[in-house]
Amino acid sequence: MNRAAQKKKGFDMDFEHMASEIGIDREDFIELAEMLVDVSNNDMAQFEQAAAQGDLKKAAMAAHSIKGAAANLGFMEIAKAAETLEKSAKAEDTSEFEEKSGFIKDQLDIINKALAGYS
């Protein structure tokens, strides 16, 4: 899918600009973003499993991992949602888990679809 098709489908991300914001080239950024998606999807699965088992300390650790990885690459909306999950887990408040987890998974899917246009 080329950039025009991505933009039309709502998956357009300016990886060139995002890369320059953190001082790396686009190819390195894309590689890191691919790793972010893979690792964060695994972390989300760990978060959900830990939360379902009542292990909120483990859930907080998984959310913390997502927060840091997303923030390092400039995906601040994901980082903020993960921070909310982390703080909520530490406070033993599960009221925002479903909404924030869904948001993060949706955003990771959008990034993954945008990355598909660069491979």
Question: What pLDDT was estimated at residue 9?
Answer: 42
Range of the domain at 74: 3-116
Q: pLDDT tens digits for 8-54? A: 344 468 999 999 999 999 999 999 999 999 999 999 999 999 999 99
Q: What is the rounded CA–CA span in Å between residue 20 and residue 68?
A: 19
Q: CA-CA distance, 106 to 98, in Å (whole number)?
A: 12
- The pTM of the full predicted model, rounded to 2 decimals, is 0.88
Instruction: Give the chain's largest Cα–Cα span.
Output: 45
Number of domains in the chain: 1
The CATH number of residue 106's host domain is: 1.20.120
pLDDT of 2 over the 70 cut? no
Integer Cα distance of 61 and 7 in angstroms: 34
Three-state SS string over 18-40 comes to HHHHCCCCHHHHHHHHHHHHHHH
Count the neighbouring beta carbons within 10 Å of the beta carbon of residue 107: 17
